[in-house]
Amino acid sequence: MDETQLESLRQNVLWCALGIGLAFGAIAQKTHFCTMGAVADAFYFQNFNRLRMWTLAIAVCTFGVQVLAVVWGSAP
């Protein structure tokens, strides 16, 4: 991989990271995704909706990391 391709790859990764971050931020803002709020809702109001959403996010993240570890772990 030469210097030009490496710079192009770096730019693509940065733009994708920005897009993903903006999308997550917009979704988190719209759905009130907040760890402290989820725990407070469950404790004070017995409402587990946000806590379930937070737990699902942790599970998806853990699964994704494991998939990446298996895929990249088998690379030469």
pLDDT digits (tens, 9 = 90+) for 50-67: 999 999 999 999 999 999
Contact assessment for residue 50 and residue 33, using Cβ atoms and an 8 Å cutoff: yes
Distance from C-alpha of 65 to C-alpha of 15, rounded to nearest angstrom: 21
Look over the chain and give the mean of its residue pLDDT values, rounded to a whole number.
91
pTM: 0.66
